[in-house]
Amino acid sequence: MPHIVVIGAGVIGLSAALRILGEEEPPSPPQQQETQNTVTIVARDYPEGAETVDGASQIDFTSAWGGAHNRLVPPTDAATRREHGFARRTFARVRGVRARHPEAGVTLLRGVEYLEAGALAPAYRDLTEARARDEAGPDGLGMRGFRLLPPAELPPGVAWGCEYDTWCVNPMVYCAWMLRRFALRGGRAVRRAVRDPREVLAWRLEGGPVDAVVNASGQGFGDERVFVTRGQTCLVANPCPVTITRQNSDGSWTFCVPRAFDGGTVIGGTKEPDNWDPHPSPAVREALLRRFADTYPAILGPEGRFAVIRDVVGRRPTRRGGMRLEAEVLDADGDGDDDGAPRPVVHAYGLGGRGYELSWGVADEVAALLQPYLEAKTPGARL
């Protein structure tokens, strides 16, 4: 039975680990499903209650701080069309999870997009309801419940808007559910820091020698294209029934993502490339809250104010040129000789702020990239 190690216990690592373990759609009961592979997750950080995640020491555990929702991003080229395909597959999978596992932390709701005139790119301006809703056409986006908003429904300063069916998750509820499901199906989890995928190839774990590695580390182990994008948001207790994203003419963003499951609402946010500052700015918090209240006054409730829980700072590992999603063959000693037992490493990192909304599509691609190597080792092996 092939043994695959997944580096990273964020949303990409957990989704890939479940997919490799043989998670079906729709899934069969654990006691009836045959596990075709041995899968071990190796990570420094694992999901835990959001209330106890240490913002200082776990600032790089991006899945704890992620937006964790699905947005409309009209594709404009081959790379973004591929990502949109991943988003649609993830959308279908997450809706299925919500239907079968209400405890998983998923909420189905309406998503709203607002764009100011200076942010209105052609991909949005030219978007028609027919194209947005089209499920089968080559240019269709398959957006459920899509509706263009008339001018009377737009807040002041907004030039274009739409709404559609979407989902969001409470990140640590969702990730903890995936980790429990992974363990229930026979997966193993090891808490350990990793410096390089070749290090893992040389290990001897409980599952036996390592046959393949999935690098879902987020930061990519020295990839020169990877940089951090600092994000500051504010978690408030105020409930909100929709997720709202506003792209402002000055390049900034104003948004909210409801957490549900007693998780409050995230108000954001900033996107600051190459900013390593771990400390939240009170001035930025005030600006974020003020701008969102101007966009959606109902968030203030009958008391007319925000109930602030905490400021949040996280670092998104972003990659110039887009995510890295490919396989390469490495050997454990790194010298290219046969004595290092060449084995595949599938890289799946650098998704920036889109990890949750692309997660299951990426997991399917990881399985497809691993498939030929596992078949060569064990004829008939399937993922």
What are 174-186's pLDDT values in tens digits? 999 999 999 999 9
Mean per-residue pLDDT, 121-150:
95
Query: Does residue 38 lie within any of the structural domains?
Result: yes
Count of structural domains within the chain = 1
Domain enclosing residue 375, as ranges? 1-68+170-225+320-383
Query: Does residue 64 lie within any of the structural domains?
Result: yes
Query: Does residue 179 lie within any of the structural domains?
Result: yes
User: Residue 335 has what pLDDT?
Assistant: 47
Query: Does residue 232 lie within any of the structural domains?
Result: no
User: Residue 217 has what pLDDT?
Assistant: 94
110 contact partners, CB below 8 Å, separation of at least 6: 145, 163, 164, 165, 166, 241, 242, 243
Query: Does residue 137 lie within any of the structural domains?
Result: no
Percentage of the chain lying above the pLDDT 90 cut: 77
* Structure token pair of residue 185: 């199906």
Query: Does residue 325 lie within any of the structural domains?
Result: yes
Query: Does residue 186 lie within any of the structural domains?
Result: yes
Q: How many CB atoms lie within 10 A of CB 154?
A: 14
User: Residue 35 has what pLDDT?
Assistant: 59
CA 319 to chain centre: 14
Whether residue 280 is predicted with pLDDT greater than 80 in this model: the reply is: yes
Q: What is the mean pLDDT of the chain?
A: 91
CATH (domain of 210):
3.40.50.720
What are 316-348's pLDDT values in tens digits? 999 999 999 999 998 765 544 455 567 899 999
Whether residue 133 is predicted with pLDDT greater than 80 in this model: the reply is: yes
Q: How confident is the model at residue 294 (pLDDT cuts 50, 70, 90)?
A: very high
Q: Answer whether 210's CB lies under 8 Å from 5's CB.
A: yes
Mean per-residue pLDDT, 231-245:
96
What are 87-107's pLDDT values in tens digits? 999 999 999 999 999 999 999
Q: How confident is the model at residue 171 (pLDDT cuts 50, 70, 90)?
A: very high
Q: Of 33-42, 201-210, 233-242, 373-382, which range is least confident? A: 373-382
User: Residue 267 has what pLDDT?
Assistant: 97
Query: Does residue 1 lie within any of the structural domains?
Result: yes
Q: What is the model's pTM? A: 0.93
What are 29-78's pLDDT values in tens digits? 655 555 568 999 999 999 987 777 777 788 888 888 888 999 999 999 99
User: Residue 381 has what pLDDT?
Assistant: 65
Higher-scoring residue by pLDDT: 252, 381:
252
